[in-house]
Structure 1
Amino acid sequence: MKFTIDHFNINVLDLEKSLAFYNRALGLKEVKRKTAEDGSYIIVFLGDGSTANKLELTWIKSQKVPYNLGDEEFHIAFKTPDFDKAHALHKEMGCICFENKEMGIYFINDPDGYWLEVVPVR
């Protein structure tokens, strides 16, 4: 039996703000959308254009307060061959929340507070 990763889901409070962030910060683009007939939710899948992996953003109409992310001990990692350029962009955006210069990595926060790790291609 073999499995492959298809997508990872996070819930977002402001879908348009999140879509803009993920496009600007990480170059992710919408590849698929599902809207509930009653308008109670919208699911948007984002892709990087080069792998089959997707990030699923779920907006739920009834959610009015920020999601409780617990101890934030989870994250999604993104690799880039343009590490220095990415760092400069994220610094300009003000979204860098933690840097580990020893390991050569850093983390950014999305609009809902999720941690996203940025690592160079090695």
Structure 2
Amino acid sequence: MNFRFAHYNYNVFDLEKSMAFYKQALGLTEVRRKVAQDNSFVLVYLGDGQTDFQLELTYLVGRKEPYNLGDNEVHLAFTVPDFEAAHKLHQEMGCICYENPDMGIYFISDPDGYWLEIIPERR
């Protein structure tokens, strides 16, 4: 058997706010969308336009409170060729939540508190 990654899921409280964040912060765009027949949920799949990997944003219509992420010890990681420009953008956005200069990485936080690791592209 050959298993392949398909997508990773984050549940989001405000779909439009999350989609705007992922577009501005990481350049992710909508690849496809599924709306439940009863309109109880919306799934939006975001892609980077370079790989097949997708981030699924699940929006539960009618949810009244943000998600409790607990200790939030999970994250997605992104590489970027221009690390300094990315860092500057994320500083301007005010979304950097942790930096580790010794390792040469930092993390940003999305509107729901999910952490995303930013790594310089290794050549």
SS of the equivalent of 1:59 reads strand
Q: Aligned equivalents of 1:84 and 1:2: distance in 2?
A: 38
TM-score (norm 1): 0.98
Query: Which segments of 5 or more consecutive residues in structure 1 lack a partner in the other structure?
Result: none
How big is each residue's C-alpha offset from its partner over 1:76-120, in whole Å with a ceiling of 9 and x where there is no partner?
Answer: 000100111000000000000000000000000000000000000
Aligned twin of 2:48: 48
How big is each residue's C-alpha offset from its partner over 1:24-79, in whole Å with a ceiling of 9 and x where there is no partner?
Answer: 00000000000112211000000000000000000001321111111110000001
Aligned twin of 1:113: 113
**What is the aligned length?**
122
Aligned twin of 1:31: 31
Where has structure 1 moved over 6 Å in runs of 4 or more? none
TM-score (norm 2): 0.97
Q: Aligned equivalents of 2:18 and 2:62: distance in 1?
A: 17
Q: How does 1:65-84 map to 2 (within 5 A)?
A: 65-84=65-84
Letter paired with 2:93:
M
SS of the equivalent of 2:92 reads helix
